[in-house]
Chain A
Amino acid sequence: MIAKERLGAMLSDLMRRYRLIAPVQHAGELRFSEVASPEEVVLDYRNTAKAPKATFFPQTECMMRFEQQLDRFNELRGVPLDTTPTLLFGVRPCDARSFLLLDKIFLGQQYLDPYYQARRENTLVVSLACDHPRQTCFCHAFESGPYDRTGTDILLRDGGDVYLVEAVSERGAELLAGLALPLADGAHRVKAAEIEAQALARLGEVEPVKGIEAMLALLFDSPIWAEVSEKCLACGTCTYVCPECHCFNIEDRLLAHGGERVRGWDSCMYPTFTQHASGHNPRPDQGARWRQRTMHKFEYLPRNAALYGCVGCGRCILSCPVRLDIRHVLRRVRTAYAEKSAAKVTA
C-alpha cells in the first residue's frame, strides 16, 4: 500500500523513467494528458469526459510523409513510432477493460498496426478502482464491476488514507517489486473492503447484456431502428467519448513541398461514413446507422472477437446532447425480440 500523501513523491520518482499520463484538469474538463508534475494529477473524480484510448490511438496522428519534387509526388516515408516508456495512471476499470478489444482490433487478426503497437507495448496501465459509480454506469451489465482487474497491470484501491496497490500482471508485479512498498495492514484492508461494498451498493439495476447478440441477429429489419434514432443529431459525440469506438479515417494533407497522410477518428454516425463515390450509400438514414452502431457493438464484435464493443462507462449517455441512452436502446431490442417471438408463436 502507499499513503495518499506519499503518492506524489512516488510518481515523481516514476516520472524519471516514464512519461506519466493521468487525469488532469484542462480548460474546465477532466482529461487524460501528459503530466509535467504530480501535483496536476486528479484522482478524486468519477470519470473523464473522453476515454483514455487516445494514449494508444490518438485522435489524429501522422502515419507517413511524402515529398514533392517538381510537380510530382514521390516516395512515402514512414514516421518514427512512439515508443516512449509510459505510465497510464488512474484509469477506471471500465477503461482498462476496454483495451482488450482495441488490442484485438489493432494487434490481432491478419495485420499488425505498428502505430498502436509501439504505444501499447511501451505503456504500463495502473488503474484506480471506482468507488463512486454514476447513475449512468452499467459496467455490471457485462459481468464486470467497479473493482474489475481485467486489462490492467496494477490496480489501486482506496483504503481511506492509503491506496492498496495490487499487481495484476507480470509487468505490474515487476514494477511493484522495484517500488518496495509496505504490505497493507489489516485495518486498511478492512477499510478498503468497506469502500468497495459502498461502491457496489451504488450500482443501479441493469439487465445483463449477455445473450443480446442472439436477439439482434433477428432484428435487422425491425422498425425499432428508425424509432430509437429519431432524435439523434448525428453529431458523433458518442463515438468520440467512447473507449471502444475505433473507426478511423485516412486523409492526405498537402503541405509545402509535399504532404502527409493522417489517420483520425471517424464516426459511423456521420452520413457519408459509408458513402460510395457513385453516391450510393448502404446506410442512407440515421436508423440504418444506429442499427450499425448497435449491431457492431453488441452482435458483430461478440461474434468476431468474443468481446462486446461497450464497457458500460456511460460516457455516451452523459455527453449526448439529446440524451439518447444506449441502455434504452438495448431495452427496446429486448422488447422487440420478445414481441417478435410472441408473434411467431401466435401466427
Chain B
Amino acid sequence: MSDTQLCTCVHAANPYLPMNMVIQRVVDETDDRTIKSFDLAFVHPEDGGEYSSRGEYSSPRFSYVPGQFCELSIFGQGEAPFGIASSPTEKGFVRFTVKKAGVVTSKLHSLKPGDNIGLRGPLGNHFPLEFMRGKNIVVIGGGFAFTTLRSLIVYLLESGERDQFGKITVIYGARTPGLLMYQQDLAAWEARDDIEMVQTIDVAVPGWTRRVGFVPNVTEQVAPTAVNSVAIICGPPIMIRFTLPVMTKLGFQKEQIYTSLENRMKCGIGKCGRCNVGNKYVCLDGPVFSMAELAELPPEY
C-alpha cells in the first residue's frame, strides 16, 4: 500500500546496525512526567543520507514519511520501536515521544542532552498521503498515541501542499489537561484557520474551558462528514473499539479509516518473526493499516 517511494534508509550494508545520534533536547510532555520528547541529531552528518538495503546511496537525506517509526538503541539496554513524532518538514532533528514503561524507556528517560543513542530507520509503511490528497482529513487521537499524528498534522500544514487537502479536523482527548501532549503545537493549531482543533478531557476540571467527554462521544458530537473524507485514528484499544461504531454511524467505510498498530518488536525489518498479525508484519506491512485491511486479519492485537 505504499504510494510514495519508501526510503529504506538503514545502514548501508547492515540493516541491524544503528546510526549514532546525539540527544539535543529533552522535554516533558505531560505533567506526570512519564512521557518525554527527545530531539535527536545525527552524529555523522553523512548518516542523514539515504542508503537502500542493497547499499545504494541516494538523496534526499534521511527521508521519512509521517507514520513511519524507528528503532532506538540504548546501548547496553536494548532497542525499542517508536513512531516518529517530527514531520520531515522539520529540519535538523528527529523527534520521538517516549513513555517510560520498561527497561529501554526507563534508561532513555534518564539520559540528557549530549548523550548518545542509536537509531535504525525509517522503518515500516506510512500514512496514505496519496489516497488522502483531495480529501477531508479527520485525525482522531487519544492520550499517548498522538505521536505520529503530530508528524502527520505538521506535515499537512507545513509541507506547502495544504491546498491539496480538504478540511482538516483534529479530535484529541486525554484523561486530564496535563496529559495532553504537544501543548505548544496544540495552541498554535488552535489559532490557525486552516485546521479545526477539538481538544477534550475525560472529566471536567476547574479552568478547563474546552470540551469534556470521551473521544468517541466527542467525535459523534463533532460529526465530521464522511463524504470524501479519510479518518486516521490512533489511541488505546478501548478508544478505538468505541470510536469505530461512531465512524460507521457517520457513514465512514472501512476503506476510509486508518490506524497504526503496535506490537513488541526486535528486528523491525520482518525477520525475527515476532510482530505479526496474521500473515502481516506490523514492522513491514504496517504499522499503518486501513480498517478494511484489518478486517482481513485475525483479531490478534
Find out whether the CB atom of B276 lies under 8 angstroms from the CB atom of A247: no
The segment from B59-67, B149-157, B181-189, B258-266 that touches chain A is B258-266
Find out whether the CB atom of B77 lies under 8 angstroms from the CB atom of A64: no
State the CA gap A68–B77 with chains docked (Å). 13
CB contacts under 8 Å to A, within B249-301, are 262-264, 266-267, 269-279, 284, 298, 300-301
Tell yes or no: B227 within 8 A of A by CB. Answer: no
Find out whether the CB atom of B53 lies under 8 angstroms from the CB atom of A273: no
Chain B residues, Cβ within 8 Å of A259: 75-76
Q: Report if A111-B8 is in contact (Cβ < 8 Å); known contacts: A64-B16, A76-B18.
A: yes
Contact among B79, B271, B279 with A303 in the assembled complex (CB-CB below 8 Å) = B279
Give the size range of A's interface with the partner. Answer: 35 or more
Tell yes or no: B102 within 8 A of A by CB. Answer: yes
Tell yes or no: A49 within 8 A of B by CB. Answer: no
Chain A residues, Cβ within 8 Å of B53: 110-112
Chain A residues, Cβ within 8 Å of B273: 246-248, 266, 268, 296
CB contacts under 8 Å to B, within A249-280, are 249-252, 254, 259, 261, 263, 266, 268, 273-278
User: How many chain B residues touch A (Cβ–Cβ < 8 Å)?
Assistant: 45
Chain B residues, Cβ within 8 Å of A68: 76
State the CA gap A273–B284 with chains docked (Å). 18
Q: Report if A266-B272 is in contact (Cβ < 8 Å); known contacts: A72-B116, A111-B10.
A: yes
CB contacts under 8 Å to B, within A27-73, are 63-64, 66, 68, 72-73
Chain B residues, Cβ within 8 Å of A254: 76
Residue of B nearest to A267 (CB): B273
State the CA gap A114–B17 with chains docked (Å). 11
Chain A residues, Cβ within 8 Å of B80: 277
Interface of A is mostly: mixed
CB contacts under 8 Å to A, within B55-88, are 73-80
Nearest CB of A to B77, in Å:
6
Q: Report if A73-B272 is in contact (Cβ < 8 Å); known contacts: A110-B53, A112-B15.
A: no
Tell yes or no: A82 within 8 A of B by CB. Answer: no
Chain A residues, Cβ within 8 Å of B74: 252
Find out whether the CB atom of A110 lies under 8 angstroms from the CB atom of B269: yes
- 25 A-B pairs within 8 Å (CB atoms) are namely A76-B75, A105-B271, A106-B271, A109-B270, A110-B8, A110-B269, A111-B15, A111-B269, A111-B271, A112-B53, A113-B271, A114-B13, A220-B298, A246-B273, A247-B273, A250-B79, A250-B267, A252-B79, A254-B76, A261-B73, A273-B274, A274-B263, A276-B262, A276-B264, A282-B277
Known pairs A247-B274, A252-B76 / 4 extra A-B pairs, C-beta < 8 Å: A76-B20, A110-B8, A111-B15, A275-B264
